[in-house]
A and B are shown apart, each in its own frame.
Chain A
Amino acid sequence: MVSTVVPRGAKFELDPGKAPRRDIVTDIVSQPIHTLSLLVRNKPGVLVRVALVFSRRGYNLESLVVSAALSVAGIDAAPGDFSRMTITCSGEPDTLEQIIKQLVKLIDVVHAFDHTGQSAIECEVALVKLRAGLKERTEILQVAENFKAKVVDFGADSMILRCAGQTDKLDALIGLLKPFGITELVRSGKILMARGLDET
């Protein structure tokens, strides 16, 4: 299969009924996805510097979520001093090693951990806008109930569902909703936290 650069969301919307599964390497995702968590200083420009590490070397940055960190073990942190970033990216293991080292090399990055393959708590939120007339409504609501998705907008001919959970759960939900006609899809990107008292 010829691989072309296609944004992930667009491919779902074009391909009804096909929910990509994480354990199968498909043409959509040709390299394993890794999840990194970074603790960074909340200084202007830190986001740009992190993004530049990826763009300079042509690494594929799939998603990036950043927001304020509450407390940092072992460092005197005032509120707003630090932020946490969760980044998902794809690449060979060698490439990934370099990505992490280049990120840690940045002065504003305190640490970067690769949580791939480790049991960490992962979460993502998706908002799905559907065309939903009287005919399809019941079925859509049945799907939503099974995935514990909540209806956050309800109209005569449309509906917005909100679902939180692991990435493959959301992928599956979206796959099942496709036949009904998804008009818009917004995903939040993955956030992650290490289990127990391990550091994220």
Chain B
Amino acid sequence: MSPSEPAAPSARVGTRVGPFVAFFAVALLAAAGAVFEISYWVGLPALAPQVLGTTIGIVGALVAFFVWGWWAPGND
């Protein structure tokens, strides 16, 4: 195929979800993984006080990320 003959979009392509949602899912998975690892420390009563403030900060920021991202006007 030459550059002047771009591939036509297939029907399958046309029905896909947009990249915004896909990246949302990627971010959600990554955040869930990180919070899962951090939650280990929060689950230990003797150690939780050392990480609790930072963990609340992280989780709060994550919620804000997804909320503001969903609410914000699109790039169009």
User: Are chains A and B native binding partners rather than an unrelated pairing?
Assistant: no
